[in-house]
Amino acid sequence: MHKILILLAASATLLSANAFAVDRGELLASSCMSCHGPGGKSKGAIPSLAGLEKGYIVKSLQDFKSGARPASVMQRHAKGYTDEEFALMADYLSKLK
């Protein structure tokens, strides 16, 4: 009986921890929203990111990072991320509607 109670308590702990888990791509992309708008939907001159194709986002970020794509701010931002993080952000952003 004691083992069953421990197992049930451990399962409940895991389930509640997962309920509060945040997608890493969402977390990484949260900083994008300050310029690209809530939910990646810009209402100004800065492009919206919501729903863009994942490969396009990754390539754009890689080009900003390498300097192949000129930008005023994005080159500095992109230099702080890895290709894996670009992919995580792109996956999240591409799913926004």
pLDDT digits (tens, 9 = 90+) for 26-49: 999 999 999 999 999 999 999 999
Worst-scoring range by mean pLDDT, 11-25, 59-73, 77-91?
A: 11-25
Domains along the chain?
23-95 (1.10.760.10)
Give yes or no for residue 22 having a pLDDT over 50.
yes
d(CA 78, CA 65): 5
Q: Cβ contacts of residue 28 below 8 Å, gap of 6+?
A: 81, 85, 88, 89, 92
The reported pTM is 0.77
